[in-house]
Chain A
């Protein structure tokens, strides 16, 4: 036994030493080009969200499934159960083994997906991203829900509208200080204010709420106390508007302070009802899912989208000059009147 183990250990040692010199040999050479039909000829499209089981991505799943039925393609909607990049890579690797035609992914961490997306591309799979951009050198298409710049400006404009005045003190709440998409929106909103409404004064730097409603609630209470003349709050990230509205509701300041933010309609309905939240502005995730599948199908058939193309159920889309970035359309305003019509 001892001899055997010794032998085994030395064999491994030798192998591992050899590995040191020959490891440059990459790629199996066994990539068999295109897959061979695999039974039926239906196009197989895989849509991978950041994680599954949260309201936002459940809503987009509905759109994906619906599109699969209507457009006659096989869709797979699968993702990690935690927002862990390692898990997401595994999901994609397993999808590659399933010989899908298109993979559309919303990366948790764009850099960590680069190697596996490269692998997918080498196997002849069409790679695109949706919701959040991946490595742009690898994707054929990048489906965005909104034009970030226009979105930020729209939120700022809505706030001014709801305040009913073009001057006064306002504050900005955000999910996290380092969240790239939130920062883009906030910068755009600030630009809009600086350019068109010089009378608006930002009382303090953007305030981080850790993507938590409870924190947003607490911070809003502090804000209201420290700045009695505060007239408006812009809240970015989906929990932040809810927390802010909760504080406003509790203090009975509905008529004095306007709150606008980026929240899902079902969550915000109770606050929209009494005006503690004036308007929630977001896109419709189910439409985004639908659009992703529709564009994926077109790509698999060799068709590129066009600027201004009308997609059934979604509307006119916008294609940027790079030929990759697709914008779904303008954001949707969820108000007291229409919030009940949505089920996400």
Chain B
């Protein structure tokens, strides 16, 4: 009983591989350059938001304002660029705006101690309102040619640049979580904040950094999105909000906090991406795609839950 077969993540990775092989075999056009490129272009923005959401969920929180943080920094970048500022300045300002949004979340959650779901629900509406009053609901355009290469260009003519950016931040997040003191504190806070506090960790500082880091990832996602879609708008990527929660949870992240891995989230994002592209290629209608994703999500969660229960039982019997 001891050699615990596989971790949640490797099972998920296996599922991803199986889905990939099946789809390549049975869906015409799936294993073609064009579709593979498409998927690599579509994945980064969603992946970055899912990673951001994952980190927040690991602390036992949730960030409902994340897509609006992205939209906010996107609008900032668009405004800067359309007023003739150079690309780099615009991007830096965009990231700063994103961080400022994260700072608001972080301050209220970590210093004042209001529950994350309430705070981010509030800031979600707040950011939406701010963006609406700036843009009046219309989209802002006017990016430079070179800016559009971030989301649409290829590196060396083969690999989409955006996926490289995503891989970089995925590894960075992985290293930060697994190898640093901050990363360990993130997991500790998620599983038991009181014990963590009494073991000498500055909870509020750790939480603050979590929300800042999530906001930064959102800002990066927004750079990719605005560059890909050539415009910034209040509801830019709003459909990713709940999808990113789903991806994090499908990736094995414990919704009460304390557990969650970068690689699991990435597998989940890849699975979502393949299902969405593959089923579209087959011509399955969109609502049905949503139904299937919902079913898969629930199935995996129930399986995880049952597996956890069984292991718990086994441990108890072993102890007794």
Report which A residues bind B (CB closer than 8 A): 2, 5, 8-9, 12-13, 15-16, 18-19, 22-30, 52-53, 76, 78-87, 89-91, 93-99, 109, 111-115, 123, 176, 178
Known: A22-B156, A80-B239, A81-B287. 9 other contacts (CB 8 A): A5-B174, A8-B171, A16-B168, A23-B149, A26-B154, A89-B229, A93-B38, A98-B281, A112-B139
A84 touches B239 (CB 8 A): yes
B276 → chain A closest CB, angstroms: 7
> Once the chains are docked, how many angstroms separate the CA of A17 from the CA of B320?
57
A91 touches B280 (CB 8 A): yes
> Once the chains are docked, how many angstroms separate the CA of A16 from the CA of B156?
12
- Known A-B contacts A2-B179, A96-B38; the reply to A176 vs B137 at CB < 8 A is yes
Nearest chain B residue, comparing its CB with the CB of A11:
B171
A82 touches B157 (CB 8 A): no
A177 → chain B closest CB, angstroms: 8
> Once the chains are docked, how many angstroms separate the CA of A178 from the CA of B138?
8
Nearest chain A residue, comparing its CB with the CB of B35:
A97
Neighbouring A residues of B285 by C-beta, 8 Å: 52, 78
Neighbouring B residues of A89 by C-beta, 8 Å: 228-229
Neighbouring A residues of B225 by C-beta, 8 Å: 86
A94 touches B38 (CB 8 A): yes
B33 touches A28 (CB 8 A): yes
Neighbouring B residues of A30 by C-beta, 8 Å: 33-34
A112 touches B239 (CB 8 A): no
> Once the chains are docked, how many angstroms separate the CA of A22 from the CA of B155?
7
B34 touches A84 (CB 8 A): no
B283 at the interface (CB under 8 A from A): yes
B155 touches A25 (CB 8 A): yes
- Known A-B contacts A23-B153, A28-B37, A97-B38; the reply to A109 vs B233 at CB < 8 A is yes
Neighbouring B residues of A78 by C-beta, 8 Å: 280, 283, 285-286
B239 touches A23 (CB 8 A): no
- Known A-B contacts A23-B153, A93-B42, A115-B228; the reply to A86 vs B175 at CB < 8 A is no
The 5 A-B pairs with the shortest beta carbon distances in the complex, nearest first, are A112-B229, A94-B280, A111-B231, A97-B35, A111-B141
Neighbouring B residues of A79 by C-beta, 8 Å: 286
A249 → chain B closest CB, angstroms: 31
B42 interface neighbour in A90, A99, A111, Cβ under 8 Å: A90
A109 touches B157 (CB 8 A): no
Nearest chain A residue, comparing its CB with the CB of B46:
A86
A59 → chain B closest CB, angstroms: 17
Neighbouring B residues of A15 by C-beta, 8 Å: 164
Nearest chain A residue, comparing its CB with the CB of B226:
A112
> Once the chains are docked, how many angstroms separate the CA of A82 from the CA of B243?
13
B167 touches A28 (CB 8 A): no
Scan residues 1-52 of chain B and give those whose CB is less than 8 A from a CB of chain A. 29, 32-35, 37-38, 41-42, 45
A52 → chain B closest CB, angstroms: 6
Complex A-B: 14 CB contacts under 8 Å? A5-B174, A12-B168, A22-B156, A24-B146, A25-B153, A29-B157, A80-B239, A86-B239, A94-B38, A95-B280, A98-B29, A98-B281, A111-B230, A115-B228
> Once the chains are docked, how many angstroms separate the CA of A30 from the CA of B283?
25
A258 → chain B closest CB, angstroms: 31
- Known A-B contacts A8-B171, A97-B29; the reply to A85 vs B149 at CB < 8 A is no
B270 → chain A closest CB, angstroms: 15
> Once the chains are docked, how many angstroms separate the CA of A123 from the CA of B61?
45
> Once the chains are docked, how many angstroms separate the CA of A324 from the CA of B225?
30
Nearest chain B residue, comparing its CB with the CB of A30:
B33
A109 touches B32 (CB 8 A): no
Neighbouring A residues of B277 by C-beta, 8 Å: 94, 97
B165 at the interface (CB under 8 A from A): yes
B92 → chain A closest CB, angstroms: 15
> Once the chains are docked, how many angstroms separate the CA of A95 from the CA of B35?
10
B251 at the interface (CB under 8 A from A): no
B152 at the interface (CB under 8 A from A): yes
> Once the chains are docked, how many angstroms separate the CA of A261 from the CA of B216?
47
A289 → chain B closest CB, angstroms: 16
B255 at the interface (CB under 8 A from A): no
Scan residues 279-320 of chain B and give those whose CB is less than 8 A from a CB of chain A. 280-281, 283, 285-287, 290
B158 at the interface (CB under 8 A from A): yes
> Once the chains are docked, how many angstroms separate the CA of A28 from the CA of B150?
15
B286 touches A109 (CB 8 A): no
- A15, A22, A115: residue with the most chain B Cβ atoms closer than 10 Å: A115
A82 touches B154 (CB 8 A): no
A112 touches B280 (CB 8 A): no
A28 touches B152 (CB 8 A): no
Neighbouring A residues of B164 by C-beta, 8 Å: 15-16, 19
Neighbouring B residues of A178 by C-beta, 8 Å: 136-138
B144 at the interface (CB under 8 A from A): no
> Once the chains are docked, how many angstroms separate the CA of A79 from the CA of B285?
9
- Known A-B contacts A9-B171, A97-B38, A99-B29; the reply to A26 vs B229 at CB < 8 A is no
B231 → chain A closest CB, angstroms: 4
> Once the chains are docked, how many angstroms separate the CA of A53 from the CA of B157?
39
Neighbouring B residues of A91 by C-beta, 8 Å: 280, 286
Nearest chain A residue, comparing its CB with the CB of B42:
A90
B237 at the interface (CB under 8 A from A): yes
